[in-house]
């Protein structure tokens, strides 16, 4: 029994409902992937399925479109599976219970998977139709987008002949994404030696920061608790010798850290001066961050211990040197797109281990060359003080294309249909488009999609009327000659 049979466009919601009955968490896309393969086979379409279950479906041009360049339609089949506490469902085995409320489609007690099920539904409705006009279509539906874009990374694109890509993984109608950042995680490691130290042990706690996403919120001038700790220790070092026992802060490289803790050994007679420095630093931070991060607290405490294993004076100095001098935050703004952060980095994790201190950065840039330079800078700095770096999770940028015929066409169609320009945006975070851009020569892409709200949460909902308008928009783009 169909719950969505009265919704328009019928064919889109028909497929949306079908795929909603197939569990499709990341890493477990087998069933949905096989469904897509069968769908294509039943319609005599050429289909490719790789080992990790990515699917590519080809449909030849309709009459009169044989000489128009192909269009690649792209989205991902996996979804984030969240459920309300107490709601009884096994999202690896059971389908979703869809519900309609006014203009919104949602799922009872769970995420909806509109991200990116709507792209799959659009693609299937187009592939199924014998009325829609279009050039050769190459539909790419990936796995594991939500968990690091492994599907797109592993995708073999040798069967792809097109270069014009319509990515349908955006969540705001009227907005068109035209570029995204590339990035990597860079781990900076400094070997340190611990020695027996005597004196007054003290603790420093920097907390109450707002934090945020290291891509989307790096431009808000919020404090980074790891780097604030570096600054405090630098101030303190100008007044007294310090030996670091440990210094730790943050949990994820891509989150701006909100709390950092340190334990230090200082001389007993410096106890009072230490507390004065805490007071002073609290005043400085309060003033500097009163708008961007008003709740920052600096707390210092004299501990009972009088001896401990602590880093040597020299190693302690090196740690402070790195915390103060390694770059952080925005490095460059884009000159192509107003307001876009081009290059940034975030020291997300600071951690003391048995024989080393490590600082883990999320590095991002919409220019490959700037990302590489920033990593080189970190490497140079670390090696200068006897440390090293390692890199993981490198993903490419989708660089802004000055001259994009497909983008111009997409804008022109939008203007014709709605009488206004779409909003052109770039994001300072990764998208699958970046990975595809590195695999497809002369890549020419726009990313769009219907209005969705609170994706990745149980409040996720899709605007039905927006899904209809974007559907009509997509069909107009396919119709262009």
Catalytic residue list contains 145: yes
- Rounded-to-integer distance, Cα 254 and Cα 430, Å: 12
Q: Which is nearer to Zn ion, 112 or 308 (CB)?
A: 112
Instruction: Extract the tokens encoding 403.
Output: 């001259």
Among 29, 115, 259, 277, binds Zn ion (CB under 5 A): 115
**Pairing state between β 341-352 and 329-333:** antiparallel
DSSP string covering 238-262: TTS--EEEEEEE-S-TTEE---EEE
Binding of Zn ion at residue 116 (CB under 5 A)?
yes
| Residue 155 Cβ vs Zn ion, minimum distance, rounded to whole Å | 16
- The DSSP secondary-structure symbol of 398 reads B
Site for Zn ion in 131-190 (CB under 5 A): 169
Q: Which is nearer to Zn ion, 115 or 399 (CB)?
A: 115
Q: Which residue in the list 145, 171, 173, 259 is annotated as catalytic?
A: 145
Q: Which is nearer to Zn ion, 116 or 444 (CB)?
A: 116
| Residue 142 Cβ vs Zn ion, minimum distance, rounded to whole Å | 10
Q: Is the peptide bond before 9 cis (omega within 30 degrees of 0)?
A: yes
Phi and psi (nearest 5°) for 421? Answer: -75, 145
- Rounded-to-integer distance, Cα 278 and Cα 236, Å: 9
Stretch that binds Zn ion, among 114-122, 193-201, 274-282, 468-476 (CB under 5 A): 114-122
| Residue 76 Cβ vs Zn ion, minimum distance, rounded to whole Å | 6
| Residue 183 Cβ vs Zn ion, minimum distance, rounded to whole Å | 17
Q: Which is nearer to Zn ion, 154 or 240 (CB)?
A: 154
Catalytic residue list contains 288: no
Phi and psi (nearest 5°) for 270? Answer: -95, 5
| Residue 121 Cβ vs Zn ion, minimum distance, rounded to whole Å | 14
Q: What is the CA radius of gyration of the chain?
A: 26
- Rounded-to-integer distance, Cα 279 and Cα 283, Å: 6
Q: Which is nearer to Zn ion, 285 or 455 (CB)?
A: 455
| Residue 442 Cβ vs Zn ion, minimum distance, rounded to whole Å | 25
Residue pair 252/361 in contact (Cβ under 8 Å)? The answer is: no
- Rounded-to-integer distance, Cα 16 and Cα 114, Å: 8
Q: Which is nearer to Zn ion, 187 or 462 (CB)?
A: 462
Instruction: Extract the tokens encoding 9.
Output: 């466009």
Residue pair 42/34 in contact (Cβ under 8 Å)? The answer is: no
| Residue 78 Cβ vs Zn ion, minimum distance, rounded to whole Å | 9
Q: Which is nearer to Zn ion, 116 or 399 (CB)?
A: 116
Q: Which residue in the list 78, 171, 293, 315 is annotated as catalytic?
A: 78
Stretch that binds Zn ion, among 116-124, 132-140, 334-342, 471-479 (CB under 5 A): 116-124
- Rounded-to-integer distance, Cα 99 and Cα 460, Å: 12
CA distances from 415 to 135, 168, 408, 476 (A): 22, 19, 11, 12
- Rounded-to-integer distance, Cα 153 and Cα 242, Å: 46
H/E stretch holding 371 reads helix 368-384
Length of the chain as a residue count: 481
Residues with a catalytic annotation lie at 78, 145
Judged by the rule CB under 5 A, the positions of this chain that interact with Zn ion are 115-116, 169
């Amino acid at each position: 029994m169909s719950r969505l049979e009265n919704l328009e466009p019928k064919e889109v919601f028909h497929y949306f409902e079908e795929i909603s009955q197939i569990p499709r968490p990341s890493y477990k896309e087998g069933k949905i992937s096989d469904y897509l393969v069968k769908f294509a086979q039943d319609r005599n379409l050429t289909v490719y399925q790789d080992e990790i279950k990515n699917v590519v479906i080809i449909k030849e041009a309709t009459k009169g479109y044989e000489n128009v360049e192909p269009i690649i339609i792209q989205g991902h089949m996996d979804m984030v599976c969240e459920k309300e506490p107490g709601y009884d469902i096994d999202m690896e085995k059971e389908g979703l219970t869809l519900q309609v409320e006014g203009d919104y489609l949602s799922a009872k007690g769970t995420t909806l998977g509109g991200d990116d099920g709507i792209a799959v539904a659009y693609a299937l409705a187009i592939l199924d139709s014998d009325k829609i006009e279009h050039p050769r279509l190459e539909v790419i539906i990936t796995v594991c987008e939500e968990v690091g874009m492994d599907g797109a990374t592993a995708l073999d694109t040798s069967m792809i002949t097109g270069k014009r890509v319509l990515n349908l993984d955006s969540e705001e109608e009227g907005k068109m994404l035209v570029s995204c950042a590339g990035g990597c995680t860079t781990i900076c490691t400094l070997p340190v030696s611990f020695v027996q130290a005597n004196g007054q042990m003290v603790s420093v706690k920097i907390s109450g920061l707002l934090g945020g996403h290291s891509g989307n919120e790096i431009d808000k001038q919020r404090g980074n608790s790891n780097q604030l700790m570096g600054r405090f220790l630098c101030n303190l070092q100008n007044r007294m010798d310090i030996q670091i026992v440990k210094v730790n802060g943050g949990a994820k490289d891509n989150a701006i850290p909100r709390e950092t803790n340190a334990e230090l050994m200082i001389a007993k007679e410096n106890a009072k001066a230490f507390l004065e420095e805490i007071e002073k630093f609290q005043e400085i931070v309060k003033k500097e961050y009163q708008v961007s991060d008003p709740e920052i607290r600096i707390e210092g405490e004299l501990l009972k211990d009088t001896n401990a294993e602590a880093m040597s004076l020299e190693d302690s100095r090196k740690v402070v040197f790195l915390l103060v001098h390694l770059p952080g935050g925005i490095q460059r703004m884009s000159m192509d797109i107003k307001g876009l952060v081009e290059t940034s980095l975030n020291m997300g994790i600071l951690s003391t281990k048995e024989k080393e201190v490590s600082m883990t950065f999320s590095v991002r840039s919409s220019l490959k060359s700037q990302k590489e330079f920033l990593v080189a800078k970190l490497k140079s700095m670390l090696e200068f003080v006897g440390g090293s770096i390692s890199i993981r999770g490198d993903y490419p940028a989708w660089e802004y294309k000055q001259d994009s015929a497909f983008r111009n066409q997409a804008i022109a169609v939008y203007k014709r249909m709605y009488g206004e320009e779409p909003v052109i945006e770039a994001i300072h975070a990764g998208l699958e488009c970046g990975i595809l851009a590195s695999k497809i020569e002369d890549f020419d892409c726009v990313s769009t999609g219907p209005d969705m709200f609170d994706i990745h949460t149980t409040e996720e909902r899709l605007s039905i009327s927006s899904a209809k308008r974007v559907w009509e928009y997509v069909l107009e783009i396919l119709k262009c000659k």
